[in-house]
Amino acid sequence: MTDAVKPAALPARPFFSSGPCAKPPGWSLEKLATESLGRSHRAKIGKTRLQLAIDLMRDVLQVPDTHRIGIVPGSDTGAVEMALWTMLGARAVTMLAWESFGEGWVTDVNKQLKLNATVLGAPYGELPDLSAVDFSNDVVFTWNGTTSGVRVPNGDWIADDREGLTFNDATSAVFAYDMPWDKLDVTTFSWQKVLGGEGAHGVIILGPRAVERLENHTPAWPLPKVFRLMSKGKLAEGVFKGETINTPSMLAVEDVIFALEWAKAVGGLQGLKARSNANAAALDAIVSARSWLGHLAADPATRSTTSVCLTVEGADADFIKAFAGLLEKEGAAYDIAGYRDAPPGLRIWCGATVDTADIEALGPWLDWAWASLKAA
């Protein structure tokens, strides 16, 4: 393409950020229930709405009754830190890291908790050797690398007879992939990814083995109040019944209830997966038709269907900034520059709250931005 011809049609919803992500189709503030707003989260109505959010998450994610679901402070970061600080230290630890968030957990475990964990790493675009994981250790990993676009292929690599616990940071994976709950002892996520919810709230899901660890292991370090899942020597069961550790935003709770009810309306987990897969396929078709675009994750079996990271021929950070800026100015795509610590490139969210038609409409705009910058 030599002429920078501006496309005629814009994506109807140009929200391609990888967090906070696009709201569910049809969302508006006016559609949120308001009865809980201005009320105490300890009042009956507050507890009821928080419990409803938990029940809907269990329903849509198909979480078995053996696992507890709690709403906790600090988004996914808070949920991961809560898990690491309360449960690690009982045995050796193996950390898997192939992008910035996994690397951040390595820093916390080795520099803050000083546990001298074994680290299995890989560069952006690749996975570590999953067959090398020692499941006599506790194992900490990220299911879907939000900043690299690389995910684990499934849960087959996780040992059924593991001795340690599995800690699964699933923040850009839940509601887009099947989670093998019998192999996941601790799973964390936040609402602002695949659900398009608001930030600041995290979710922690504990299997029976994680609860056993909490009840039988006392960390060697002090625990801040917001991390404490034990009370008087027993699991704080209230956390998993809507009795949050600190004050939640009831507006955010109502927002996620809307998103979860929308998720049920489009077919639950299977419907969400189908939407995400269709979006990823549409973006892959765009990439395949352009020699200057590529996938950072070369292997389709481990390529994300949510946070899809793309390479741009010859691009440096300044080029990507200009590229994304052109599209934002035109209202064609918001927030598609790759993560700051990742190789320069584009990152386009393909989760279920994005409409496939908007991904398809994005293709000509990518051409326009590319041609405009090359002609400059």
Q: What is the CATH number of the domain that holds 362?
A: 3.90.1150.10
Res. 1: pLDDT tops 50:
no
**Residue 77: which CATH number?**
3.40.640.10
- Specify whether 253 is located in the same domain as 338: no
Could you tell me if 363 and 257 lie in one domain?
no
Residue 206 tokens read as 């504990």
Domain closes at, from 264, 284, 307: 264
Query: Is there a domain that residue 23 lies in?
Result: no
- Please tell me the distance from the alpha carbon of residue 144 to that of residue 169, in angstroms, as a whole number: 8
For residue 11, being part of any structural domain is answered with: no
Q: What is the pTM of this model?
A: 0.97
Question: Strands 166-169, 186-190: parallel, antiparallel or unpaired by DSSP?
Answer: parallel
Query: Do 231 and 298 reside in the same domain of the chain?
Result: no
Residue 19 lies in a domain: no
pLDDT digits (tens, 9 = 90+) for 119-143: 999 999 999 999 999 999 999 999 9
Q: Domain check: are 57 and 182 in the same one?
A: yes
160 shares its domain with 255? yes
Residues 324 and 289 in one domain: yes
Give the end of a domain, one of 219, 244, 264.
Answer: 264
Is the domain of 302 the same as that of 324? Answer: yes
146-165 tens-digit pLDDT: 999 999 999 999 999 999 99
> What was the pLDDT predicted at 376?
81
Looking at the fold, whether 198 and 275 belong to one and the same domain comes out as no
User: CA-CA distance, 227 to 220, in Å (whole number)?
Assistant: 14
SS3 per residue for 46-111 = HHHHHHHHHHHHHHHHCCCCCCEEEEEECHHHHHHHHHHHHHCCCCCEEEEECCHHHHHHHHHHHH
Per-residue pLDDT band for 2 (boundaries 50, 70, 90) equals very low
Domain of 343 in residue numbering reads as 268-375
186 in the same domain as 148: yes
Domain boundary among the residues 264, 289, 314 is at: 264
Strand partners, 91: none
CA distance 131 to 46: 46
Residue 225 maps to a domain: yes
Confidence check: pLDDT of 3 > 90: no
User: How far is residue 216's CA from residue 222's CA, in Å, rounded to a whole number?
Assistant: 16
Both 104 and 136 in one domain: the answer is: yes
Q: Is the pLDDT of residue 46 over 60?
A: yes
CA distance 251 to 40: 12
Question: Domain tally for the chain?
Answer: 2
Say if residues 82 and 227 touch (Cβ distance below 8 Å).
yes
| DSSP conformation class of 31 | G
Residue type, 240: F
Q: Are strands 138-142 and 93-97 parallel, antiparallel or unpaired?
A: parallel
The two tokens of residue 98 are: 């192939």
Q: Are residues 278 and 322 in the same domain?
A: yes
